[in-house]
Amino acid sequence: MELSIGEFEAMQMGWRKWWIRELELRSFEDFGLQIEGKDILEVGCGSGYSASLITAKNPKSYTGLDIMEEQLDLAKRKNLPNAEFVKGSADDLSRFEEKSFDAVLDFCILHHVEGWRTFFDEAHRVLKDGGRIYIADLSRTCIHITDACFHWGHAEEALFSFRELEEEANRRGFVTVKKDSWLNLEAIFCFEKDR
């Protein structure tokens, strides 16, 4: 079942902004994310809140990708400097050149992507040598709990355990640099392209 713009908006409430700013982005930076002067791709940029935080740190370029036109329109209306917003799916980055980004970021959208395994191949291709993926995302267990409470109905094929996520990244040419998780519900990963 596909989620609607209203459901996605509900997931981007005030507390979620605090969570992105104070926990996820801060953890990415603690794990080594450098933004200033770097080429950054965010998959599932939504209405652009994380984009506003990232572009404030002077990247060389920021590209936000999302499958939903309405979300991209909201993001574009923010008129952020050096930012480009494009329509597309996280599991198909073919519009981007090989080795064009220093980092690919995911703020809790990979659990919407049925082709999340393919995302690692795509990210591998578009990352420069030594480039990194920073992932903040939710486990299958966490999504089952939220769906029981809010009846959002995420697609089961898109869900993963953190072990499955890490094994898939490692199998597809990434080493795990750092990882952390809270109660096996949300995890932060930093993966580096190693071959």
Ligand X SMILES: C[S@@+](CC[C@H](N)C(=O)[O-])C[C@H]1O[C@@H](n2cnc3c(N)ncnc32)[C@H](O)[C@@H]1O
Q: Whose Cβ is closer to ligand X: residue 38's or residue 112's?
A: 112
Q: Provide φ and ψ at 145, rounded to 5°.
A: -70, -45
CB 72, min distance to ligand X, A: 8
Within 113-188, residue ranges assigned H as helices are: 116-126, 140-150, 162-171
Count of residues of this chain found to bind ligand X when the rule CB under 6 A is applied: 22
Q: Whose Cβ is closer to ligand X: residue 23's or residue 67's?
A: 67
- Does residue 74 touch ligand X according to CB under 6 A? no
Q: Which two tokens stand for residue 193?
A: 């392209």
Q: Which stretch binds ligand X (CB under 6 A): 12-20, 30-38, 149-157, 173-181?
A: 12-20
- Does residue 67 touch ligand X according to CB under 6 A? yes
Name the residue among 34, 13, 50 with its Cα closest to residue 132.
Answer: 34
Report the residue from 25, 41, 80, 90 that binds ligand X according to the rule CB under 6 A.
90
103, 134 contact by CB (below 8 A)? yes
Q: Which stretch binds ligand X (CB under 6 A): 28-36, 65-73, 78-86, 180-188?
A: 65-73
- Does residue 138 touch ligand X according to CB under 6 A? no
Long-range contacts of 145-154 (CB under 8 A, 24+ apart): 145/185, 150/10, 152/3, 152/7, 152/11, 153/1, 153/3, 154/3, 154/111, 154/112
Span 101-130, contacts to ligand X by CB under 6 A: 107-109, 112-113
* Beta pairing partners, 87: 66
- Does residue 44 touch ligand X according to CB under 6 A? yes
Query: What's the rounded Cα separation, in Å, for the pair 91 and 9?
Result: 22
Q: Whose Cβ is closer to ligand X: residue 3's or residue 177's?
A: 3
For 177, the 3-state DSSP assignment is strand
* Interacting residues toward ligand X by CB under 6 A: 8, 11-12, 16, 20, 43-44, 46, 49-50, 65-68, 71, 89-90, 107-109, 112-113
